[in-house]
Amino acid sequence: MCLRLRRNRKILTIVFLSSLLFIFFCQAQDEKLNPILEQGIGQYKHENFEEALGLLKKAREEDPASTLAAYYLGLNYKKLQDYQLSIPNLRDAVTYSPKIKGALIELIDSLYQVGEYAEAQRWIVEAEKEGIRPAQTAFLKGLVLLKLEDASGAIASFEKAKELDNSMEQAANYQIGVTHLKARDFRYAREAFKAVVGLNPSSSMAEYANEYIDAIVKKEKALRPWKFSFGSCWQYDDNVVLKPSDQSLAANITGQEDSRQVYTGQIEYNHYFKDDFSLKGQYYFYYAKQNDLGFYDTISNTLVVQPSWNFEKSLLAFPLSYNHTIINDTSYLSNPSASAIYNFMIADSNMGQVYLAYSNKDYLWSPSMPDEDRDSNEASSGLGWYFFFAKKKGFFNLRYGFNREWTEGNNWEYFGNKINAALLIPLFEKLNLTISGGTFFQRFLSSHSIFNVYRRDNVYTASSLIAYKFLEDSEIQVQYTYVRDSSNISIYDYDRNIYSIGVQLKF
């Protein structure tokens, strides 16, 4: 018994002395810590990153092999969002000895931030082998795979991250939603974003998720294959017959004022063959019935076929259309046309546009004389710019166009320049105001056969539209339009005011 006690005392003494030696060794190591490095770490921990930077750089210069100095300098650069400089330091921290394993996650994140996805994947494999912060590793792996367009792999990684760490569930669901959205799986994306909101409705991440949900709803509507619209409005026109402003020429013209009922309808079908190509077919109907005048009743039918190529930040479309117009129950105009339109985003809130178009106009009524024959071929081109504001609910548009029309009759051949501007202002959630205006300068190329002068017309147009959305896809519209054609030939010089109120339904 005594022998056993003496043996236990000996063991306890050895353990005690070993503990003292270990404490002494650790203190000695602490004492050997570079004072500059120690100060730099202190400044870093107090979030004085600018002050810490100089100290940590100096500590690395004095001891380039110090993984601790490399680690903290890499972290400091990362806090300053200088990822390019953080990477070599964090790489040294996980390569030199002794390896600082925690630096792996920081290195992977920095590589992800600068788009070095291949190297990030190599270090992710290392982190998985070492078992370092498994949830964070899985989350970063998902981010990298998402950038590499591996949607299924990214979703699996995000799912794994939230299984390993419940605190990452909201962030993981958010990224799952983004991944489904990028893959155009709108239903699953909406479910993931709803889960984000449900976990913490007051968080900023939930706010972003709600914005995505609204965008998805709009996108799903936009991608519906079939779309329909119907409109009806009452209009008052104070110059239906384009009565000249010169009273000496218009003395015998009366009854130029009239009201009319206008009906419009549209059927549209869209087919998306793949992400970057779609085909649209459209039929548009217009009917205007004058209430008092016995003429100028108009029926117009338009067919459009439009193939489109969607790129990352641009759209190229080739609309082909045919219009047939009937006036007073008699065919008046046959008009096939073809055009090319290219829209491209400039940053997030600006869009540019260029277009080319060709049109053939066949007027089916016999002209009063050969020089008045308006049958023509027309070529036009132009460019435009859009600026979006108020979360893209409002915009300002400016366009310039040039056209040249070759007509059978000498009196109507001309070239023209158009400048148009439009501003849509969302006044309230359901109330929009649109103000637009334009000028059209026409210069005719032959001396008029009757008036013996070269005709010059300057056409000015101004319009305002107030639209109130009383249902989700239905609006009440009130509009005023003014037209002024200032011509050097008095018979073509006129003013016109059009007032209208109506309803527009979309479904």
**Predicted pLDDT at 253:** 64
Q: Does residue 377 sit in the same domain as residue 460?
A: yes
User: Do 63 and 33 form a contact (C-beta atoms < 8 A)?
Assistant: no
What CATH code is carried by the domain that includes residue 101? 1.25.40.10
- List Cβ neighbours of 486 (8 Å cut-off, separation of 6 or more): 457, 458, 459, 460, 493
- The DSSP secondary structure of 21-37, one letter per residue, reads HHHHHHHHHHHHS-HHH
CB 133: neighbour CB atoms within 10 A? Answer: 17
- Structural domain ending residue among the three candidates 132, 162, 195: 132
Number of domains in the chain: 3
* Residue 457, domain member (yes or no): yes
Phi, then psi, of 189 in degrees rounded to 5: -65, -45
Q: Does residue 475 sit in the same domain as residue 373?
A: yes
* Residue 206, domain member (yes or no): no
Q: Does residue 289 sit in the same domain as residue 384?
A: yes
Q: Does residue 334 sit in the same domain as residue 402?
A: yes
User: Do 281 and 304 form a contact (C-beta atoms < 8 A)?
Assistant: yes
Side-chain half-sphere of 344: how many Cα atoms within 13 Å?
Answer: 5
Q: Does residue 501 sit in the same domain as residue 367?
A: yes
Reading the block at residue 212, the tokens are 């995505």
3-state secondary structure 177-228: HHHHHHCCCHHHHHHHHHHHHHHCCCCHHHHHHHHHHHHHHHHHHHCCCEEE
pLDDT per residue, tens digit, the chain (507 aa), is 333 334 444 433 443 334 333 333 333 334 356 889 999 999 999 999 999 999 999 999 999 999 999 999 999 999 999 999 999 999 999 999 999 988 999 999 999 999 999 999 999 999 999 899 999 999 999 999 999 999 999 999 999 999 999 999 999 999 999 999 888 888 889 899 999 999 888 888 988 898 888 888 887 777 789 999 999 999 999 999 888 987 666 556 655 799 999 999 999 999 988 768 999 999 999 999 999 987 889 999 999 999 999 888 899 999 999 999 999 999 999 999 999 999 999 988 999 999 999 999 999 999 999 999 999 999 999 999 999 999 888 999 999 999 999 999 999 999 999 999 999 999 998 999 999 999 999 999 999 999 999 999 999 999 999 999 998 889 999 999 999 999 999 999 999 999 999 999 988
- List Cβ neighbours of 307 (8 Å cut-off, separation of 6 or more): 277, 278, 279, 280, 317, 318
Question: What's at 506, amino acid-wise?
Answer: K
* Residue 166, domain member (yes or no): no
Question: What's at 479, amino acid-wise?
Answer: Q
Burial of 398 (0-12, 13-18, 19+ CB in 10 A): middle
Q: Does residue 19 sit in the same domain as residue 115?
A: no
Q: Does residue 472 sit in the same domain as residue 324?
A: yes
Q: Does residue 21 sit in the same domain as residue 38?
A: no
Q: Does residue 462 sit in the same domain as residue 366?
A: yes
Hey, which residues does 264 pair with through a beta bridge? 231, 286
Which of 479, 482, 489, 492 minimizes the C-alpha distance to 235? 479
Q: How far apart are CA 154 and CA 43, in angstroms?
A: 37
* Residue 199, domain member (yes or no): no
What's the pTM?
A: 0.69
Rg for the chain, CA atoms, rounded: 37
Burial of 444 (0-12, 13-18, 19+ CB in 10 A): buried
What CATH code is carried by the domain that includes residue 360? 2.40.160.40
Q: How far apart are CA 178 and CA 247, in angstroms?
A: 67
* Residue 127, domain member (yes or no): yes
Q: How far apart are CA 134 and CA 128, in angstroms?
A: 7
Q: How far apart are CA 167 and CA 220, in angstroms?
A: 32
Q: Is 327 helix (H, G, I), strand (E, B) or coil?
A: strand
* Residue 476, domain member (yes or no): yes
Interhelix angle for 134-147 vs 103-113, to 10°? 20
Q: Does residue 378 sit in the same domain as residue 272?
A: yes
Please measure the distance between the N-terminal and C-terminal CA atoms of the chain and give it in whole angstroms: 97
Question: What's at 450, amino acid-wise?
Answer: I
Q: Is 279 helix (H, G, I), strand (E, B) or coil?
A: strand
User: Do 495 and 461 form a contact (C-beta atoms < 8 A)?
Assistant: no
* Residue 310, domain member (yes or no): yes
- Structural domain ending residue among the three candidates 97, 117, 132: 132
Hey, which residues does 441 pair with through a beta bridge? 417, 458
Q: Does residue 269 sit in the same domain as residue 412?
A: yes
Q: How far apart are CA 147 and CA 153, in angstroms?
A: 11
Please give the residue range of the domain that contains residue 65.
33-132
- Structural domain ending residue among the three candidates 132, 155, 187: 132
Q: Does residue 402 sit in the same domain as residue 367?
A: yes
